[in-house]
Structure 1
Amino acid sequence: MRCVGATAVAALLPFLSAGCTCGNDEGTAAGETIADDRSSGHAGAWAGTAPSCAGLPAACGPSANEDCCKSLLVPGGTFARSYDGVDYLDRSYPATVSDFYLDRYEITVGRFRAFVNAGMGTQASPPGDGTGAHPKIPGSGWDPAWNTRLPPNTAALKSALACFVHQSWTDAAGSNETKPVNCLDWYMAFAFCAWDGGRLATEAEWNYAASGGSEHRYYPWSKPATSTTIDDSYAVYCGGTCRLQNVGTRSPKGDGRWGQSDLGGNAWEWTLDWDPVQYPMPCHDCAAVTAGSYRAFRSGSNDDLAPTLRSATRHVYYPEHRGNIGSRCARTPWSYTRNPSR
């Protein structure tokens, strides 16, 4: 695994600490009316129907009674990529993102089981050409050249999900259904989100959500933003002495600004981007979509130490890598009706 941490930024990849003069982080797409519930700390929820939750019980969250596919509005704005005001202090790489929805929870085993049971995620049933794209980023959809990167059939897909001793996948439904699925390579994660009516978040979008936009939170839950307070009541992490937990078990204490849980800890999360020579500039709804060697992932996992869970920290590795990595899906707001009661 190629890790970029706070102490390594200057020596390895200076572009990872980035910044800007921040603008309004409550922006909306043209012509939209936002249904918002700020009293709960959560923005309006996506009202679409995600195939992965069809027939699944509402069993996620701290009380195990929430829709596992709940997706919450992240109001767009401008922020400093990989800037946190404490360890990452370079403010030279601004980014602006439009409103988007980001799933409250990481992809669970139960949701991924629906994908597998539908016969998807294989060379026999790959995503369609161009699906899963960010509508404002050309070249961000599925490339048919990637079809051969998927397992050839469902049996091979299930085998790939058994990548190490602490895999969360089980061939039969059991006690892991609301844990984050791990052992996903980048292609599996992309294919799932495309099938589920969403897409992978860009690295800028993911970083923006974890940082609380222009608040630039040190951890996703940091209040004040520069607070470095962390313990296992905020996040599922313990340096290798605990296992994955059900998604949302540290909510609401460990939630990000817009209500997403486990943005630090539990499982790593793939993002859309290739690892570029430097962050894309200028960046207004941008992503690194030109082929490279590595894909970027974020969040830290249950078997990582505290510095890895910072909102500014990024890691990159080969897209074929499978380990304690899952993902969560982003969704495009202007395609759906917003409904704060969902």
Structure 2
Amino acid sequence: MKYNLKILGIACSAAILASCQTGPTKEQQAAAAIYKDSTMCCAIPPRTFAARMHTEVKVSGTGTGLDGMVYIPAGAFEMGTNEMEAYEQERPSHKVRVDAFWMDKTEVTNRQFKKFVDETGYLTVAERMPDWEELKKMLPPGTPKPSDEELQPGSLVFMAPDHKVGQDDISQWWKWVRGANWQHPEGPRSNLEGRWDHPVVQVSWEDAEAYCKWAGKRLPTEAEWEYAARGGLKSKRYAWGDEFLPSGKYYANTFQGSFPYGNEDLDGFDGTAPVMSFPNNNYGLFDMIGNVWEWTADWYDYNSYKKLNNGTIYSNPKGPAHSFNPDDPYAKERVTKGGSFLCADNYCVNYRPSARRGTSYDSGSSNIGFRCVKDDNSASQTQLASNQ
């Protein structure tokens, strides 16, 4: 499907856009990255190209220690999947071994992120003025500079249509909103009242990295994240077993009904949910599946699993050296995992541990958050891993 493109604010300089020109070039179509496949599942917006000036972060002297973290023992597991019902970038599965580490038992909440901002004065990507010199590096050559009026701070907001719509044009439910940021998730008129224990959203990869640095922690690798999400279960489709609704009980905050306009809220939530609203997995982690997508440290390569040697056991992999997405060749993407409250069975099945997609590192949206990890420096961890 072809799209007519117009730069609408910096809502992607070439992505969620209103019509004003005809016959987009192949480069423009690639930059828009509007396509219905695994990376668009769960109402994932295209990249926002919201390049801003870098903000330095003050590092806390002691961090936040191990408060609110759980211990993840060393071990080996099958990363990815061989299921034919899964998406191409998840296959094939391969054996991975990880050392022990500590992980936040919940996604970072608005309350926790506010403490970080209060102590450091940090401005998130969505709050900064866009830097055109950085922005154009991720756009097709020759892309014209937007007007100063369009180059304003903001972010992507999910707005459910009030009527039945097709699923080919994501601009029907994703909107670029000036003034949308972590404090105002839906725009300037919104706030965090009643949502302090919800996961923080509208945060970019850089924002997540900054928080982790302040807390004396780091973002998990994709391998660590998936290993932790599985909770010690082997070869299970979901983080809790093979059935999505065991005994009719919801184990994750997802979208029930006909996406994007008919959310039936059968799990009790229309948007994000307070952390710990659903059962924890066997490692004591909450919301590894659903609620919000979570940033990881790794670059995203659509074909990375296909490049691995069959039979090799990979120890503590840190992902590819570069990002690659054949549908969006200009993107610089990091891996996000876990699906979100916008995952629906009539649109995607990304609410599984093996599910993975790439998100432009400079993008935030209504359904992306994160959690942190911390290395376990005990002398026994290497021995524990080698015995698995």
TM-score between the two structures when normalised by the length of structure 1: 0.61
Q: Report Cα offsets for 1:175-233 as digits up to 9, x if no partner.
A: 211110011111101111121121100001111111234613321122xxx33436663
User: CA, structure 1 residues 184+301, in 2 after alignment: closer, same or farther (shift >3 Å)?
Assistant: same
Q: How many Å separate the matches in 1 of 2:121 and 2:338? A: 26
Structure 1 residue aligned with 2:321 = 290
Matching of residues 216-231 of structure 1 within 5 Å: 216-222=235-241, 226-229=242-245
Kept in 2: contact 1:296–1:314 (CA 8 A): yes
- Return closer, same or farther for 1:232/1:303 CA change in 2, 3 Å cut-off: farther
Give unpaired runs (5+ residues) of structure 1: 9-48, 54-68, 124-144, 146-154
| Structure having the higher Rg | 2
Which residue of the partner structure matches residue 300 of structure 2? 275
- Asked whether 1:165 is paired with 2:189, we answer no
Contact 1:101 1:332 in 2 (8 A): yes
- Quote the Cα distance in structure 2 between the aligned partners of 1:325 and 1:258: 22
C-alpha spacing 1:178/1:302, structure 2 compared with 1 (3 Å) = same
Q: What does residue 248 of structure 1 align with?
A: 276
8 Å contact from structure 1 (residues 187, 320) kept in 2: yes
Helix, strand or coil for the counterpart of 1:78?
A: strand
Is 1:332 matched with 2:357?
A: no
CA spacing shift, 1:169–1:197, aligned 2, 3 Å: farther
Tell me what 1:106 maps to: 107
Equivalence for 1:237: 254
For 2:37 and 2:358, the matched residues in 1 are separated by: 8
Shift of 1:168: 12
Cα drift, residue 235 of structure 1: 1.2
* Alignment partner of 1:82 is 2:110: no
Deviation at 1:87, TM superposition (A): 4.0
What is the alpha-carbon root mean square deviation over aligned residues?
Answer: 3.9
Q: Structure 1 pair 335/108, CA: closer, same or farther in 2 (3 Å)? A: farther
Task: Say if 1:111 and 1:295 are closer, same or farther in 2 by CA, change over 3 A.
Answer: same
> Could you say which residue in structure 2 is the equivalent of 1:34?
none
- Paired with 1:236 and 1:84, the residues of 2 have a C-alpha distance of 25
Instruction: Give the Cα separation in 1 of the matches to 2:100 and 2:317.
Output: 13
Whether contact under 8 Å (1:52, 1:112) holds in the other structure is: no
Is the aligned partner of 1:313 residue 2:355?
Answer: yes
| Structure 1 pair 326–245 and aligned structure 2 pair: CA distance change class (3 A) | same
Identity %: 25
Distance 1:85 1:93, change over 3 A: same
Query: 1:258 matched to which residue of 2?
Result: 283
The structure-2 alpha-carbon separation of the partners of 1:303 and 1:214, relative to structure 1 and needing over 3 Å to count, comes to: closer
Instruction: Please tell me whether the aligned partners of residues 168 and 180 of structure 1 are also in contact (alpha carbons under 8 angstroms).
Output: no
C-alpha change, 1:260 and 1:50, in structure 2 (3 Å) is farther
User: Aligned pairs, how many?
Assistant: 246
Partner of 1:131: none
> Residue deviations 1:120-164, cap 9 Å, x none?
5449xxxxxxxxxxxxxxxxxxxxx9xxxxxxxxx9999642675
Change (3 A) 1:99 1:175: same
Q: Does the CA-based 8 Å contact 1:3-1:316 persist in structure 2? A: no
After TM superposition, the structure 1 stretch with the greater mean CA deviation from structure 2, 178-187 or 203-212, is 203-212
Q: 2:95 is matched by which residue type in structure 1?
A: P
SS of corresponding position for 1:199? coil
Aligned residue number for residue 58 of structure 1: none
Taking structure 1 as reference, are residues 202 and 331 closer, same or farther at Cα in structure 2, changes over 3 Å only?
Answer: same
- Structure 1 residues 164 and 184: alpha-carbon distance in aligned structure 2, compared to 1, 3 A threshold: same
Amino acid at match of 2:277: T
* Inter-CA distance 227–271: structure 2 relative to 1 (3 Å threshold): same
CA distance in 2, matches of 1:269, 1:188: 12
Q: Letter of the aligned partner of 1:233 in structure 2?
A: Y
Letter in 1 for 2:204: D
Aligned partners of 1:326 and 1:217: how far apart in 2? 25
Map 1:42-57 onto structure 2 (within 5 A).
50-51=63-64
